Amino acid sequence: MNLSTKAIDPYTIKELLQLQVMNQLSLLTSGRNSVTEQSDNTDFASILNGMLAGMDSASPQSAAGMSAGAGLVPGQAWGPAMLSGLSTASAGALTRKFAPASKPSAYDPLIQEASRRFGVEPSVVKAVIHAESSFNANAVSGAGAKGLMQLMDATGQGLGVDNPFDPAQNIHGGTRYLSNLLSKYGGSLGTALAAYNAGPTRLDRLGIRNDQDLAEKLHLLPAETQQYVRKVLALKEHYEV
């Protein structure tokens, strides 16, 4: 279907663009997720066709005209608000994209204990575990990050983690690290997540000290980090339901 020849409601275009971005998150963050590009494109096309079929043609606006204004651009504000316009169909697709490899509930007692001990919301810990490893305790990244929260050996050792593949140690260490980052950045969650992915040294060089700085300078960080922050914030909302 040629979108540029069909009258499209601006609100719907925003939804479609947001969904398209979210469909790429699993592929762009770290390459650890199991969703293939083919299945992503198929799911998006299915939802797109369904939304277009039920579209109200009373609000004419060309897709070409809207795409320039509604798409994500460098420096655009990030966070949960970017998902606020998703339709029911889009939200359902988002949940499917975030389906973990194993049930998060298997680690709930460990997550709750670490959350209480270090003062980090359980939904944040779950979101990070999901984004990092899809709840795979044996996950290893190409860079050598290990376990549920993908701790590098040096980082894990500094956090008291002897065995990064032990779920209790990994969750304890990863949550402690998140807590340290939240303290460093004055409770700014987005900034702490960016530092978890890119490293605090990179943020310090850019003068990113809080979420306001992050919103202004997010485009200066690697694309992986930009997508990571958006993904974890979306997952946090998912696990708060």
- Alpha-carbon distance values, 44 to 73, 99, 234 (Å): 21, 16, 18
How many distinct helices (H) and strands (E) make up the chain?
Answer: 13, 0
For residue 224, indicate whether it is catalytic: no
Burial 173-208 (b: 16+ CB within 10 A, else e): bbbbbbbbbbebbeebbbbbbbbbbbebebbeebeb
In degrees rounded to 5, what are phi and psi of residue 29? -70, -65
Q: Which residues contact 88 (CB under 8 A, 6 or more apart)?
A: none
- Nearest Cα to Cα of residue 198 among 160, 172, 228: 228
Coil, strand or helix at 184? helix
d(CA 57, CA 54): 9
Radius of gyration of the chain (CA): 19
d(CA 197, CA 117): 22
Out of 132, 216, 237, 240, the active site residue is: 132
Q: What residues are annotated to the active site? A: 132
